[in-house]
Structure 1
Amino acid sequence: MKDIVKDSYGIFLKRYEKSLADKGINKDVINNRKSTIKKFLDFLSSYPNNPKFENITRSDVELFITNADEKYSPATVARYFSFLKKFFLFYKKENVNTNNIFDDWSYDKFIEKRFTFLDDEQIENLYEQIKGKKLTLKSMRDEIIFLILAYTGCSIGEIRSLNVYKNNEISIDDENYIVIEESKIYFTGESGREIKLPFEVTNKINIYLNELINKKSYDYPNCLFLFPSIRDSKDKKLKRLSNNTFWKIFKDAINKSELIKDKSVSIRNIRHTFINRLVKEEIPLEIISDITGLDISSLKPYINSELFEFKKDTVLKNQHPFKNVFNKL
């Protein structure tokens, strides 16, 4: 292996960029690839113990792609996958990263795993595993994470960034937050939506917050991270729960579940199952879009393509806006 593994991630990006330029590839194409790869390397740099370049694995790439899958359209995610594949194949040939990250792994296989849906028993069992048998501050927090994900179908990025307010007496400038007195959750980013929470969920949030404040002595004048990192130490400094911890909470529960045989499913499959069920119930796509924050084009992968084509043909045959004209032919 070449002795450049101690270099920073940026060195690898520059070397790859130069190789593309040497091949005469268009500058705009290079910049597009560079932008995607930089996002991935920045994502890795956010890890508490970010891996050396030669130790990057498929799991690291999959986690990045999955995060992108929560934010961007399928076409954008497919492009990210393609760019990263070319990047790592280049360094495999250079004998720098030989972990065979993309061997026998295609975007179609990623999508196939993405659309693994859970049945009622699996969802209920997952809830019991996350809630646990012993009532602790962490188990209360994890239960609320599950309940909000399952009720709203929100993305991981949205729930991780949630703040909580007692009321809206002050001007709120957050993107994602809950107002306790209203029992409402607001996602005010690009999607700009709000969802009324059931009393039972809001009540559990209240109990959890009171316990959190009493045990950890956090100041809660009006705003608090809904999901801070709960440490057993005496450190009172408030830190937002890390992305990796979110994934681990659900991965541990999935591994314990006897009903979920496919251990490759993850926290994201709750959102996908939520959307899939709404589509199957033939809820108008505009309403599903408003609930989930996804644009209608991003909902198409959840639609049964054969059934969709059949309905489309039926509409044109029986409900065509100019059917009187065509009936006379």
Structure 2
Amino acid sequence: MAVAPHHRLRRSGPAALEICAIAALYYGSARVGLLQQLVRGQVTPLWPPSGIAVASLLLRGPRVWPGIALGAFLVNISLGPSLPAVLAIAAGNTLAPLCSYLLLRRTGFRAELDRLRDTLALIFLGAFTGMLVSATTGSGTLALAGVLSTGDFWPTWSVWWTGDAMGVLVVTPVLLVLRSAHRPRKARPFRWAEALLLLAATAGVGFLVTGHTPLLFLGFPLLIWAAFRFQLAGAAPCALAMSTFAIIAGGERAGPFAGHDLLTEMITLQAFNGSTALTALLLAAVISERNQTQREIARACGQLATMAAKIASGDRRPTLPDAKHEKGEGDEGDEKGAGDPRTRQKPSPHP
């Protein structure tokens, strides 16, 4: 009788540790995201915890939702105006990724993101649709608590929604890529050199973006390069880096964000982040599907060539039973013709 409780304890131990780890990741990423807060000390243009929450649900299942709830509560307890408001905002932050997870699972989503349909599902269902829950719940709670005025509701809601959606679009693909990092693949030396060159170019463009030169558009050739050569493994980290550089520049009012009001800055920043994420994800998915199609065509051509070679070799060399059959029929016919007295030719009476 004492074996069953001990077995349940052994199973619940790793689960509790997993929940605590997700809560810690949620809290830590939230503190990093709040460094670039722009609205009311709570709303940021990129909310990494939403991406971590969706990725953890996709990789570990819905059983880890308490970790998301715990992390959201710990983050908002020092920001919310009251305990009921904190609980409501934490509930919205938990329900939003759960809705995204359920919507993605209903579409047959695959975490590899190697199909265009999976990328479109992550964009329109996981990010844009699921994050409506957290933005509406959070903004509505702040409005009911008297923190937001009537005129500030929709600007706060739009920043909240786009920030959570950008967290899913930018952070979730990177975590899904890291999921397969434990499976090493052999790569040629020039591939490593190309990856290092791409990393250096991304850092250089990021330095220009955060400076006084408005060169945001230089990030798109790097995204195309990363997607064509490395697919999602290169495009997702590159998109995250470019979005991070743009957010830093926006927070410091530097580069293309200098001399603009908050509304113009947010529109420019979120348009750039959205374009970066969409370009990286869609292009990487299309290239992955093209490569998969080429591999299937090459495999089918190889099978057809093997079958054609077998058929050709069978036509040139008839099988041994066929040869024996032909020879047996001829010999049998000759013997029958020689041994049958009715078919034996009669001697002619005339000399």
* TM-score past 0.5 threshold: no
Normalising to structure 1: TM-score of the pair? 0.32
Normalising to structure 2: TM-score of the pair? 0.30
Query: Higher strand proportion, which one?
Result: 1
Query: Higher helix proportion, which one?
Result: 2
